[in-house]
């Protein structure tokens, strides 16, 4: 039984094994075995979700588990029960709890303070670790490797960016460059951890608050919606600050073969133009489908059905723009 509350909870071997297993499941289409047969997975989302909730629900069912779902008003947390007591009770009935909350990781850490039930962070205010695993799974499927990729992330330094920075900087030769609006960058703790990991693993990590002199020869351009789920911006003029960071075809002038990724949902005409999102470079909907394959890998890992270690060999695919079933 293992918890996944932050990318920092994973060893390097765990990270690679999870990404390789997600890519393997993606290549296969459906799992062959049902290693979670007899397990019960709780799915608790206090905030809206299309892809992540569906991915973990469908993934658990495909692996043989049964699911129990909870909405934002269903738990006695709303009447004053402590997070610790909620976790202790749930752990006597569930094998895994997949949760999305509006707060930081503290509540999930409280649920994880027992030794019976695995806890999975399906997005907190500060980090979205299962999104990063999905993204790396998609990269491995697309390129056959993660090492040495040149990736540009454009937009807010939100929970997706935090998890992506923690994950990608563990791979040698990766160049990860963030372009974030001034005042909307990565939190200091995540920036410092990513920079330290990059030094240790032979990667390159940079962040700037403008769109001038973008790197050339990119493999991937990544963006996310400007209004992160469950948040609002205090500055009434925030759209003026974000406007220069829209992803348009102009970025492809110096990186003509780059793939485009987006964690979705997308707002065409805000963070990205429809021409890019629906164009031939986009693998955003393959990425969305891979949420389910990555979720299955996470569930297997949490239940001990996927040991850490040397990742399997996964062939790259050249598919782009395929329709998603997510």
pLDDT tier for residue 201 given thresholds of 50, 70 and 90: very high
- Please identify which residue in the block is written with the tokens 């990404």: 19
Q: Note the CATH architecture for domain 7-127+291-302.
A: 3-Layer(aba) Sandwich (3.40)
Q: What is the pLDDT of residues 121-153, one digit of tens each?
A: 999 999 999 999 999 999 999 999 999 999 999
Burial tier of 252 (Cβ tally within 10 Å: 0-12, 13-18, 19+): middle
293 closest CA partner among 267, 317, 269: 317
Rg (CA), the chain: 19
Query: Tokens representing 156?
Result: 């807010």
The dihedral sign for the CA sequence 46, 323, 132, 293: positive
Q: What is the mean pLDDT of residues 37-43?
A: 97
Domains 7-127+291-302 and 130-286 share a fold: yes
67 Cα distance to chain centroid: 22
Question: Can you give the chain as a three-state secondary structure string?
Answer: CCCECCHHHCCHHHHHHHHHHHHHHHHHCCCCCCCCCCCEEEEEECCCCCHHHHHHHHHHHHCCCEEEEECCCCCHHHHCCCHHHHHHHHCCCCCEEEEECCCCCHHHHHHCCCCCCEEEECCCCCCCHHHHHHHHHHHHHHHCCCCCCEEEEECCCCHHHHHHHHHHCCCCCCEEEEECCCCCCCCHHHHHHHHHHHHHHCCEEEEECCCCCCCCCCCEEEECCCCCCCCCCCCCCHHHHHHHHCECHHHHHCCCCCEEEECCCCCECCCECHHHHCCCCECHHHHHHHHHHHHHHHHHHHCCCCCCCCCCCCCCCCCCCCCCCC
C-alpha distances (whole Å) from 272 to each of 54, 212, 249, 297 are 24, 17, 9, 30
**Average pLDDT rounded to a whole number, residues 292-311:** 82
Cα–Cα distance for residue pair 61/219, rounded to 1 Å: 35
Q: Please report, for the chain, the start and end positions of each structural domain, with discontinuous segments joined by +.
A: 7-127+291-302, 130-286
Q: What pLDDT does residue 31 have?
A: 85
> Which tokens hold the place of 257?
């073969």
Q: In what order do the strands lie in the sheet with 220-223?
A: 204-208, 175-179, 150-154, 220-223, 259-262
> If one looks up domain 130-286 in CATH, what number appears?
3.40.50.1370
160-174 pLDDT, tens digit per residue, is 999 999 999 999 999
User: Where on the phi/psi map is residue 54: left (φ > 0), alpha (ψ -120 to 50), or beta?
Assistant: alpha
Look at residue 313 and tell me whether its pLDDT is greater than 70: no
What is the spatial order of strands in the sheet that 40-45 belongs to?
66-70, 40-45, 96-100, 118-121
The pLDDT of 79-83, averaged and rounded, is: 90
Question: Which strand (E) or helix (H) includes residue 84?
Answer: helix 83-90
Residue pair 176/145 in contact by the 8 Å Cβ criterion: no
pLDDT tens by residue, 230-289: 678 888 999 999 999 999 999 999 999 999 999 999 999 999 999 999 999 999 999 999
Given CA atoms 159, 163, 169, 173 in this order, what sign does their dihedral have? negative
How would residue 227 be classed by pLDDT, with cut points 50, 70 and 90? confident
Q: Which residue has the tokens 């073969």?
A: 257
């Amino acid at each position: 039984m293992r918890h996944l509350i932050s990318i920092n909870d994973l060893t390097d071997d765990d990270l690679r094994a999870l990404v390789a297993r997600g890519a393997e499941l993606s290549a296969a289409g459906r799992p062959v075995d049902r290693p979670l047969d007899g397990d019960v997975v709780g799915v608790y989302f206090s905030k809206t979700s299309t892809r992540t909730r569906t991915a973990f629900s469908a993934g658990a069912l495909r692996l043989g588990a049964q699911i129990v779902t909870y909405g934002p008003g269903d738990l006695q947390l709303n009447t004053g029960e402590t997070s610790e007591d909620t976790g202790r009770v749930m752990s006597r009935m569930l094998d895994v709890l997949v949760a999305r909350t509006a707060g930081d990781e503290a509540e999930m850490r409280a649920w994880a303070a027992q030794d019976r039930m695995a806890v999975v962070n399906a997005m907190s205010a500060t980090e979205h670790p299962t999104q990063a695993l999905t993204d790396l799974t998609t990269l491995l499927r697309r390129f056959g490797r993660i090492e040495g990729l040149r990736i540009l992330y454009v937009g807010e330094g939100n929970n997706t960016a935090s998890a992506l920075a923690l994950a990608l900087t563990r791979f040698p030769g990766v160049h990860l460059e963030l372009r974030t609006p001034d005042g909307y960058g990565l939190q200091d703790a995540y920036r410092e951890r990513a920079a330290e990991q990059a030094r240790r693993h032979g990667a390159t990590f940079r962040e700037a608050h403008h769109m001038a002199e973008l790197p050339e020869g990119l493999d991937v351009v990544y963006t996310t919606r400007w209004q992160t789920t469950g948040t609002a911006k205090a500055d009434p003029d925030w759209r003026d600050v974000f406007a220069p960071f829209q992803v348009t075809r102009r970025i492809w002038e110096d990186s003509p073969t780059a793939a485009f990724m987006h964690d979705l949902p997308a707002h065409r005409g805000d963070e990205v133009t429809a021409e890019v999102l629906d164009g031939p470079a986009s693998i955003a909907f393959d990425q969305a489908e891979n949420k389910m394959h990555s979720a299955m890998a996470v569930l297997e890992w949490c239940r001990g059905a996927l040991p850490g270690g040397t990742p399997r060999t996964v062939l790259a695919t050249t598919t782009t723009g395929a329709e998603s079933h997510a």
